[in-house]
Structure 1
Amino acid sequence: MSPVPRLDEAVYELLRDALDHFRDDPRTVGLLRHQLDRLEAPLHIAIAGAWQSGKSTMLNAIMGEEVAPVEVPDGGSVFTWYADAPHPRATAYSSDGPPQELAITRSATGMHVDLVGWRPGEVNDIMVQWPTRALRQATLIDTPPVTPPGPEGRTPVVDRILRDADAVLYLTRDGRDSDLQSLQATRTSMVDQATPIHVLLVLSRADELNGGRVDALVTARQLARRLRRDPRIDALCVNVVALSGLVGLAGRVMGEADFAALATLAATPRAELEQALLSADRFLAGTPQTGLDAGTRAALLDRFGIFGIRLATSLIRTGHDSRVRLSGELIRRSGFTELREAVSRCFVDRCDVLKARSALAALEPLLRAQPRPGTGGLLARIEHLLASTHDFRELRLLASLQAGTAEVDADLLPEAQRLLGGNGTVLAARLGVEHGTAPDRLWRLAFEALRQWQGRADDPRLPLPRRRAARVVVRSCEGMVATLNAH
């Protein structure tokens, strides 16, 4: 059993061979070199969705600071990139002029970028460099609103998202048909149809379900589970997560003054507080009395929303009686922890696979649009990679196991997830041992796992879906054994 070539190495060789075929075409050579450079660049994750889907709020929740949105003169089609850097900096890029540095005002909770003097339509991209741990493993892209595709196909915004991003967090309120149409429009090529592993669907603004009642987030998680089992959704994305970005952000940036105000509200007699929280207007009006001045009430409403205030005061009454405890529980209940884990497992841990997929998605249409002697062979190599690459099948099965839609016995589920890389993709993590474990022990563990799962894959008594899932786990074990044999 010999080691299988890595996907990123195979894609690198494919791009180099394509460069050789197009060496007399400077424009195409530039495009191919750009794809080679992206294999070494940080992962690009786009945050996309329709108007007012909560993109900027979720981006702020991920970063733990209020840095978005960057207000542009016309609110138009500007892509705002957020990358890690030692010092804050913002740069504007236009199509007809040199890059220009922008003034940044930093506050206690985030920043403001000054775009005064720019005319509508002048700015195409804004690069925000910001020192934060959240950006050390990926660059985030805040995108313009996505509109449903028209008769001519997908929109320029969707085209650019697919061109520039390796992975997409697509926000939807309820998974409605217009959002599905936008996602469906992304599946126009052989690569798109074969590898729907780069999109994670986020049920955003989950706190607004059920009329904003305290059980809204529970309802949202139930809806997410139903959507995961929908074949239309499964064909378009790798997972579905429910999130209240507003509650998650509030939990991440909550200060002692916020907690003190919420504690004052929680001490208000329950009947009076429930009356005050019937609506945002009633809460702002201060009837009945809540013990807070108008400015404090307005600030709480802006940061937490009426649902977040209801939830936070209820949690304080039930024992989350410190800022740290309340903050942690708000973050957990918001769905932010689940989102962060999904992004880590599906995107960050698989960054090489996703960047290789992006290169294939860019190379395929180029080869079809500019056929030359030998390009047919390059297309055949792309098709072979899509059909034979285990990384794509492994990631799809892992997401299905986490969503509860795959056929694996409950007692074997943790082991299957671990072997597929759900706890990390290095050998020790897959085999459930500490880093630095001796190679001979790793080999024994990998071979034993291979033997056990091979037995399940060949067991005629098991239903076909369970045997198919077992075969994917077998292939992961074979890869580990082959890697260890090589050493």
Structure 2
Amino acid sequence: MSAPAPSLGAEVRVLLRRTIDTYRDSGAAVGWLQHHLARFDEPLRVAIAGKVKAGKSTLLNALVGEAIAPTDAGECTRVVTWYVDASVPKVTMFPRNAAPKQLTISRAGGGLSFDLLHTPVEQIDKLEVQWPSQSLRAQTLIDTPGIASLSKDTSARAGAFLAPDDSPSQADAVIYLMRHLHATDLDFLESFYDQGVARATPINTIAVLSRADEIGVGRLDALSSARRIARRYRQDEKIRSLCQTVVAVAGLLAETGRTMRQHEFAALTALAGMPRSEIDSMLLSVDRFSTMELDAGSGLPDAETRGKLMERFGLFGVRLATTLIRQGMTDPTAISAELVKRSGLDDLRTVLATQFAERRDLLKARSALLAIDLVLAREPRPASAPLAAEVERILSGAHEFAELRLLSTLRSGAVVLPAEVLAEAERLVGGEGGTPFARLGLEPTAHPQELRMAALDAASRWARRAESPMSSRAVSDLSRLVVRSCEGILAQISR
């Protein structure tokens, strides 16, 4: 029996080492390539991007489950900040033209606060926050300054990190936040849409309709409205060609649900005990809720406490939490879990798991190939010709990249097939996740034999389409790739 073919990640590691050996006399090239070799063993790097006030830091806190990212408009939010797992908390500043410096950490109302030692933000390359976190073990999160900021320097800093002109991005993947679809959002997504070595793929970008609770002006059905809008965006051909999917998330509700405090629950419980008409009247606006005078002896939260509740929960969160309490939910842990569930954060986590975590090696290999391609272009030499040929061989021969190209083709509308047939093709090549059950549209509890029969049935069906004289050349080529994906599913089931 022949030995199994090496994985894509293994092939790219070998190519990285060969390129390092070829360029051993170039310190810059070797350092760059060794950095990308080390990246294979790091958690996936996921950048959070979006315009100012899109809710980037709030969503980061929700994903981590702790308020560690500053959410105010202070200087720290104008610097690219990396959040990585570590055994003890530590914050390091990396100035552009000086040695790294450890910063003093203090806890402020909106997360951590860092003393930048009077260093102008323009002179800071990045901040690195090391923090003990289960969430950060699987992925390093990178908070970026606002796109289209009023400060040209801040906006340029975000663009230079996420879509540099002369090198690959330091991020393997991007969560892009938008309050609603705007021309500047499309401009950014297009700038991050790589046309180079990985052959035009939206695989590394997820769009999030952030602050989803504000779409319905705080109504209890606000998130349902937001999900309908996200679904409409997902069906838009332009957006589908630029990102994997669009998810609606109420970031503030998600963050607060994961970090709710006992005194906040007590205040919400007191408010929930008010007559329904009175609490509804208070919740007509943020100002009304925060400033309405209440009987001092009623035991109800005072104006300052209500103002802080509004900052933490928003109109939607206060309305939802008090409604849940009135309906009989009295356990603060259950309330927290329900707020997180209603926020859409679980939907985002599922997408991150299926679109990013399952494709970790593919995303890492993509970043590494971009790095090799850059070295070959910047420092051409006769000995590098075989390396360039190997890059091209991997790109054209690796089925993982063929699937990405096919996903882009399917989403561009270039192939004419019935909608349900196109949807099946997209699912089989990994558009909804890379596991056998996700590709086959079955439940995670499906028996291996059920998976095997479904994969065989799909392979047979697509093979007939590939060989049909009625199929165009494009449909035949597409069908053969889908058949190969089905064979890969069968191999996964066997293993």
The normalised TM-score by structure 1 is 0.83
What is the distance in 2 between the residues matched to 1:430 and 1:348? 17
Partner SS, residue 69 of structure 2:
coil
Which moves more between the two structures, 30-39 or 318-327?
A: 318-327
Tell me if the contact between 2:452 and 2:493 (Cα under 8 Å) persists in the aligned partners.
no
Does residue 166 of structure 1 match 2:163?
no
Match of 1:407 in 2: 420
Give a deviation string over 1:174-215, Cα, whole Å, max 9, x none: 122211101101235323543321111111111111333222
Percent identity among equivalent residues?
Answer: 40
Give a deviation string over 1:97-145, Cα, whole Å, max 9, x none: 2221112235899643333543443422111111111111111111111
Return 5+ residue gaps in structure 2 as ranges.
150-154, 164-168, 412-417
Q: Structure 1 residues 412 and 319, CA, compared in 2 at 3 Å: closer, same or farther?
A: farther
What is the distance in 2 between the residues matched to 1:236 and 1:413? 15
Give a deviation string over 1:29-61, Cα, whole Å, max 9, x none: 221121111122221111111111100000000
Q: How does 1:182-331 map to 2 (within 5 A)?
A: 182-191=188-197, 193-287=199-293, 291-331=300-340
- Cα shift at 1:379: 3.8
Match of 2:99 in 1: 98
What is the distance in 2 between the residues matched to 1:93 and 1:277? 45
Which moves more between the two structures, 57-66 or 366-375?
A: 366-375
What is the distance in 2 between the residues matched to 1:360 and 1:431? 36
Match of 2:58 in 1: 57
What is the distance in 1 between the residues matched to 2:176 and 2:51? 9
Tell me if the contact between 2:428 and 2:482 (Cα under 8 Å) persists in the aligned partners.
no
Paired AA for residue 219 in structure 1:
S
Tell me if the contact between 2:272 and 2:325 (Cα under 8 Å) persists in the aligned partners.
yes
Match of 2:415 in 1: none
Match of 1:157 in 2: 158
Partner SS, residue 407 of structure 1:
helix
Q: Structure 1 residues 476 and 179, CA, compared in 2 at 3 Å: closer, same or farther?
A: same
Paired AA for residue 178 in structure 2:
T
Return 5+ residue gaps in structure 1 as ranges.
149-153, 434-441
Q: Structure 1 residues 383 and 220, CA, compared in 2 at 3 Å: closer, same or farther?
A: farther
Match of 2:359 in 1: 350
- Cα shift at 1:484: 8.3
Tell me if the contact between 1:213 and 1:307 (Cα under 8 Å) persists in the aligned partners.
yes
Match of 1:436 in 2: none
Give a deviation string over 1:213-262, Cα, whole Å, max 9, x none: 22211111111111111111111111211101001111111122222211
Paired AA for residue 407 in structure 1:
E
- Cα shift at 1:477: 4.2
What is the distance in 1 between the residues matched to 2:424 and 2:96? 57
Match of 1:438 in 2: none
Which moves more between the two structures, 328-337 or 116-125?
A: 116-125
Tell me if the contact between 2:373 and 2:388 (Cα under 8 Å) persists in the aligned partners.
yes
Q: Structure 1 residues 64 and 422, CA, compared in 2 at 3 Å: closer, same or farther?
A: farther
Paired AA for residue 291 in structure 2:
A
What is the distance in 1 between the residues matched to 2:398 and 2:453? 24
Paired AA for residue 311 in structure 2:
D
Which moves more between the two structures, 20-29 or 83-92?
A: 20-29
What is the distance in 2 between the residues matched to 1:192 and 1:395? 9
Partner SS, residue 112 of structure 1:
strand
Partner SS, residue 224 of structure 1:
helix
- Cα shift at 1:376: 5.0
- Cα shift at 1:480: 5.3
What is the distance in 2 between the residues matched to 1:76 and 1:298? 23
What is the distance in 2 between the residues matched to 1:185 and 1:109? 31
Paired AA for residue 461 in structure 2:
R
Does residue 454 of structure 1 match 2:459?
yes
Tell me if the contact between 1:70 and 1:80 (Cα under 8 Å) persists in the aligned partners.
no
1:371 is matched with which residue: 355, 380, 396? 380
Partner SS, residue 25 of structure 2:
coil
Tell me if the contact between 1:73 and 1:120 (Cα under 8 Å) persists in the aligned partners.
no
Q: Structure 1 residues 114 and 176, CA, compared in 2 at 3 Å: closer, same or farther?
A: same
Tell me if the contact between 1:397 and 1:406 (Cα under 8 Å) persists in the aligned partners.
no
What is the distance in 2 between the residues matched to 1:325 and 1:96? 50
Which moves more between the two structures, 345-354 or 20-29?
A: 20-29
Partner SS, residue 51 of structure 1:
coil
Aligned residues between the structures? 466
Give a deviation string over 1:318-357, Cα, whole Å, max 9, x none: 3433212221111111100001111111112221111111
Match of 1:68 in 2: 69
Paired AA for residue 455 in structure 1:
S
Give a deviation string over 1:54-97, Cα, whole Å, max 9, x none: 00000000111111128897457521111111111111111222
Tell me if the contact between 1:276 and 1:288 (Cα under 8 Å) persists in the aligned partners.
no
What is the distance in 2 between the residues matched to 1:463 and 1:318? 58
Paired AA for residue 421 in structure 1:
T
Paired AA for residue 420 in structure 2:
E
- Cα shift at 1:158: 2.6
